[in-house]
Structure 1
């Protein structure tokens, strides 16, 4: 995949789309083969190197994984809370919530947000480190078509405006068509 492009991972349920995203994001470890990101083979990285690598990857999970006791603002800040940053964490989180159209809901808990709003908070959270690589697992799967379309617009604008590489696992043919390329998986194999 070329830097600054968008690629859709397609295929039936159980084909390995989510697993591939987890491998690229170093959430799961490889048991064979290799994955090279930005010229670095990530399978052989030490624990400390993997932690540093993971901070360069934004991950948007299918089920959002927002912390229920934290506000939208605090959910966005959470990934960088334990780290020193060159930016003001609160200010960055507010800017990202504004980017996804939710600055006015910064104090809301996840239970007070719609599914689309929760997905937008999850996207803002994934961007808090301004990652060059954004991985999204079925980002429109739990949303109505109108909300899903706005999420697709947002993800692709990140590619266009920030130069992020966007890899999306999806069953949505409309989303796949809007990406720069598509890779089809079946039974864990690229077909």
Structure 2
């Protein structure tokens, strides 16, 4: 039996409010994600979807509970080890977050430029642009790309370290339905061809239906 790539146990995260109280964004969530599967997180705005992805990606730190990814309990990692862990997880955001002064190729390269790698960085970036169907747009700036193309560049950037886990936070939220379907097609192709585990937060029930498992959050809890 294969161990889950993500195992979350009683995860909790709250944020302070101006009146001194705390808002429970994630409130006792436990779940598992199997390697090479696609898992959707659905729920209304404020339900905790994004916060849960941020916790898994170590963008936020847990208040209590545990998150184990590929055998690592990320709550027990040092600051230096956490920085290394973040480079093993791919993250795709709703707003793309491409650097406007950099070409598509350089945006894909950006996460690995400061580090030594065992692979040729330029070759890897060009290969990934080909994977997402943009090998002919390597020299284009983000302003010269459509929204769907920018999201494809963002996905290529998220894959540059060959992560086993890809976290996608509303990746189709700024796209029309046709382009959003194409982006989801790409994410599922990565699951099928590369064995990448994909966890996607979405408002779109059509996307949730295409995943191997669908989890629904409300008020920070699984329902």
Would the TM-score normalized by the shorter structure come out above 0.5? yes
Q: Which has the higher contact order (CA 8 A, sep 6+)?
A: 1
Gap regions ≥5 residues in structure 1: none
> Aligned pair 1:62/2:94, yes or no?
yes
The normalised TM-score by structure 1 is 0.98
Deviation by residue 1:125-176 (Cα, 9 ceiling, x = unmatched): 0000110000000111111111111101100111111111100000111110
For residue 52 of structure 1, what is the aligned residue in structure 2? Answer: 84
Deviation by residue 1:27-84 (Cα, 9 ceiling, x = unmatched): 1111121111112211111011111111110000110100111110000000000111
What is the alpha-carbon distance in structure 2 between the residues aligned to residue 95 and residue 82 of structure 1?
A: 20
For residue 175 of structure 2, what is the aligned residue in structure 1? Answer: 143
> Aligned pair 1:153/2:172, yes or no?
no
For residue 103 of structure 1, what is the aligned residue in structure 2? Answer: 135
> Where in structure 1 do 4 or more consecutive aligned residues deviate above 4 Å?
none
For residue 109 of structure 2, what is the aligned residue in structure 1? Answer: 77
> Aligned pair 1:122/2:154, yes or no?
yes
Gap regions ≥5 residues in structure 2: 1-32
1:11 to 31, 35, 43: 43
2:202 to 161, 170, 173: 170
For residue 52 of structure 2, what is the aligned residue in structure 1? Answer: 20
User: In terms of Rg, which structure is larger?
Assistant: 2
2:63 to 27, 31, 56: 31
Deviation by residue 1:86-129 (Cα, 9 ceiling, x = unmatched): 11111111111111111111111111111000000000000001
Q: CA RMSD in A?
A: 0.7
